[in-house]
């Protein structure tokens, strides 16, 4: 079974600062994918970034980057130059790759990020 | 616009009643999923379907049932056997062919007990 741990229930960050959201995972499988989602107070889940277990470079998508340390089983999300609109819940999730990409995701409990002006 | 439509947005259930949550997608995706989210918690997988007329139990399937008669539709029934159904329910889909594909989510249904 897979497990995702997010140790920061809540974080307060000043606008324009960079922020790192922690995520550690546990799996015995060698082939897996890691995802980060943002959930605003309205409830929808917004995909941010993906990292595959065999990817040699850290993933980046605009202001989002993923600090992937495979040996430590960590996949931290870094948001550069934070904005007020970044205030939301952030979830780390994992998919073990068995027969393709149709398996369900295992989610962490999330981090509530609040950006202060 | 392509996307996932969940209805209703809010739903109330009486004791002993079954209720069905609708999920429709026009993304032509093969795989569809149902998740449950409790307050302040992450999402937990209830059921998923990789192809029409086939589905698998997730981590918390007890008290729920699903069907997949059409590619675009994956309704979830919350049965009277589910003793704590109050939660936020999210439906998702993805093509399923490649592991790096993110799941696309609907806007969710909030279910409460009367």
Q: What was the pLDDT predicted at A41?
A: 93
Interface test with B, best of A2, A45, A109 (most B CBs within 10 A): A45
Mean pLDDT for each consecutive 10-residue tract of chain A (117 residues)?
94 97 95 95 95 93 97 97 97 84 88 97
CB contact under 8 A, B40 and A45: no
Select from A52, A102, A108 the Cβ nearest to the Cβ of B31.
Answer: A102
CA count, 13 A, side-chain hemisphere, A17: 13
Out of A3-17, B41-55, B97-111, least confident range: B97-111
Judge whether A15 and A116 are in contact, CB under 8 Å.
yes
Give dist(CA B61, CA B74) in Å, integer.
15
Integer Rg of chain A from CA: 14
CB atoms within 10 A of CB B3: 13
pLDDT for the residue A99: 62
The residue-averaged pLDDT of B15-39 equals 94
Selecting from B33, B103, B108 the residue whose C-beta is nearest the C-beta of A43 gives: B108
Confidence class for position B15, pLDDT limits 50, 70, 90: confident
**Nearest CB partner across the interface for A108, out of B40, B42, B92:** B42
Nearest chain B Cα to A95, which residue?
Answer: B99
Closest CA–CA distance from residue A78 to any residue of chain B (Å): 19
The answer on pLDDT for B96 being more than 90 is no
At residue A85, φ and ψ (nearest 5 deg) are -70, -5
User: Quick one: pLDDT at residue B113?
Assistant: 86
A94 touches chain B (CB under 8 A): no
């Amino acid at each position: 079974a897979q497990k995702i741990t997010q140790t920061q229930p809540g974080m307060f960050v000043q606008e324009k600062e960079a922020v790192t959201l922690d995520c550690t995972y546990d799996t015995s499988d060698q082939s897996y994918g890691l995802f980060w989602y943002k959930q605003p107070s309205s409830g929808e889940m917004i995909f941010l970034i993906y990292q595959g277990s065999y990817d040699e470079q850290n993933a980046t998508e605009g202001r989002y980057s993923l600090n992937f340390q495979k040996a430590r089983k960590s996949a931290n999300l870094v948001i550069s130059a934070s904005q007020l609109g970044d205030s939301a819940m952030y979830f780390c999730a994992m998919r073990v790759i068995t027969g393709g990409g149709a398996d369900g995701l295992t989610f962490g409990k999330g981090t509530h990020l609040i950006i202060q002006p | 616009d392509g996307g996932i439509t969940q209805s209703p947005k809010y739903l109330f259930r009486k004791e002993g009643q079954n209720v069905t949550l609708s999920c429709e997608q026009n993304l032509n995706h093969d795989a569809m999923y149902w998740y449950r989210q409790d307050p302040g918690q992450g999402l937990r997988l209830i059921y998923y379907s990789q192809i029409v007329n086939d589905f698998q139990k997730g981590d918390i399937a007890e008290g729920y049932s699903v069907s997949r008669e059409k590619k675009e539709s994956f309704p979830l029934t919350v049965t009277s056997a589910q003793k704590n159904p109050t939660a936020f329910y999210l439906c998702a889909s993805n093509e399923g062919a490649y592991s790096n594909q993110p799941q696309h989510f609907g806007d969710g249904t909030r279910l409460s007990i009367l």
